[in-house]
Amino acid sequence: MALQVYFVLNGNAREAIDFYSGVFSSEAKVMTFGEAPQQPDYQLPEEAKDRVMHGHLEIEGNKVMFSDTFPGQPYTVGSNITLAIVTEDREKLQTYYDQLKEGGQVVMELQETFWSKAYGQVTDKFGVEWQLNLGDGGM
């Protein structure tokens, strides 16, 4: 299991990834919203296509992840860093999710996505934002 830092930026995630990649001499992997599988009944806005859906690089043996907000989503400096729990243990992930959402707010129900059999987002009762992911998503 890993606890990872996740930066959420407002349209400049690629710039941040390039910067940190250079600072730490680390190769980055990036997927834009436009490169992700598209829903047949949804037209992705043009301004979203080049924004980073998910990127990551290694810093001193630790995975640091990045994404951009989706156009129109609120962006607040201070809550743009989340903690990501990544584990291969589905039962443990469900337990963490259930406990973190108590007194907090579910941002995204724990569910299957194209990158994970189980992924969810919760803001806990202390205002800390968590992403919970089963496996590393193959990125």
- Lowest-confidence pick of 23-27, 49-53, 83-87, 125-129: 125-129
Grade residue 127 by pLDDT with cuts at 50, 70 and 90. confident
Enter the pTM of the model. 0.69
> What percentage of the chain reaches a pLDDT higher than 90?
56
Q: What is residue 56's predicted lDDT score, i.e. its pLDDT? A: 95
Spatial distance between the Cα atoms of 135 and 132, rounded to a whole number of angstroms: 10
CB 9 within 8 A of CB 66: yes
| Angle subtended at Cα 124 by Cα 32 and Cα 39, rounded to the nearest 5 degrees | 30
Domains and CATH numbers, the chain: 2-36+46-134 (3.10.180.10)
Give per-residue pLDDT as tens, 76-126: 777 688 888 888 999 999 999 999 999 999 999 999 999 899 999 998 886
